[in-house]
Amino acid sequence: MRVVAAMSGGVDSAVAAARMLDAGHEVVGVHLALSQSAATLRESARGCCTLEDAGDARRVADRLGIPFYVWDMAQRFREDVVEDFVAEYAAGRTPNPCLRCNEKIKFAALLDKALALGFDAVATGHYAQIVEVPDPTAPHGVRRELHRAVDRAKDQSYVLGVLDADQLERAFFPLGDTVKTDIRAEAAARGFSVARKPDSHDICFIADGDTRGWLADRLGERPGPVVDTDGTVLGEHGGAHGYTVGQRRGLGLKVPTADGTPRYVLSTDTATNTVVVGPEELLGVDVMTADHVRWCGPAPDGTVRVGAQVRAHGAEHPAAAQVDEGVLTVRLEERVRGVAPGQSVVLYEGTRVVGSGTIASSGRTA
């Protein structure tokens, strides 16, 4: 097969490209230029798309002896990921930009361009597995399923839960059967200079990690009240968009609780610019609805038992899920804390990813 290997300049994508070449594919390395003002050097482990990263990816491609190109997708990334991120926070939601990047950039814009140029598939350094199972209704009698990686500490199937069956047909994740320590050892054995390069961290386009400050620069300061569940004003905030459900620090409350216990953000309302806080026990929810539903294979029929995960490296919770007119309802067996609108809920059956949805609301059953 003719395969585009997405090469970020890190150790994972380097080994992924090498493995695709070892498997006998015709491989071309592609580095995605996602920043419109790429820095020369990486400032921290959170940054991405620097000229240093592009250079690291090129050196790996040269060592492998494969063609290498830089594809400029900065405008598409800005529109589909960065602007979406800002708009979601402005609407009082807490998005995960990695899911949006995988959906809109790596397995839409990148894959579409690769197919248009005559390639067959895209390979990335994500920690996840593709498992092929017999299915007489699928193309060639085989269905490709998305599963968790062997290395559960590095598993990235959650951020790939937005991929549909057609995208999985043209996706390769060569690292899913290997733990990270062995990947670094393999990179060193292959002579890759990135073998000890630190991992990058979310959010890639906020290099200093100050999400609230980054949002304030773009959305401005909008002072408003911080209130308890009875509506009593306890303090003032600089903008409801800078807070998320479950947050404890940085609330600036002037009125302590009678027993000294901490308060947490229970909800935000950007329409009234209000932040509601309360005790930790009120954070627990056991039912949520989600829109923007995506299935990684055939859609479930009726109510199905699943494992539900609401954070990239969070726990999986037993649940029941059903879809009615495009709205996904997930009922958890136990309450989960800190579920915010805009987060994604990814559903699992064993290690298989069933699908995902963007959380629209959550609540507590009696």
Q: Which residues are catalytic?
A: 101, 204
The set of residues, in sequence order, having a beta carbon less than 8 Å from that of 64 and lying 6+ positions away, is 17, 18, 21, 27, 29
Q: Residue 11's closest CA among 142, 203, 194, 178?
A: 194
DSSP-derived pairing of the beta strands 274-278 and 224-227? parallel
Residue with tokens 């067996």: 333
Q: What angle do CA 342, 35, 39 make, to 5 degrees?
A: 125
Indicate the SS3 state at residue 104: helix
Interatomic CA distance for residues 65 and 169, integer angstroms: 27
Contacts of 205 (CB under 8 A, 6+ apart): 34, 35, 48, 81, 82, 97
Count of beta carbons in the 10 Å neighbourhood of residue 84: 16
For the beta sheet containing 264-269, the strands, ordered from the edge strand earlier in sequence to the opposite edge, are 233-237, 224-227, 274-278, 264-269
Which residues, at least 6 apart from 260, have a Cβ–Cβ distance to it below 8 Å?
A: none
CA dihedral of residues 12, 169, 148, 247 (deg, nearest 10): 80
- The dihedrals phi and psi of 356, each to the nearest 5 degrees, come to -155, 170
Q: Give the orientation angle of helix 51-64 with respect to helix 11-22, to 10 degrees.
A: 20
CA-only gyration radius of the chain, Å: 22
CA–CA dist 227, 213 (Å, integer): 22
**Coil, helix or strand at residue 220:** coil
The rounded distance, in Å, linking the Cα atoms of 155 and 148 is 6
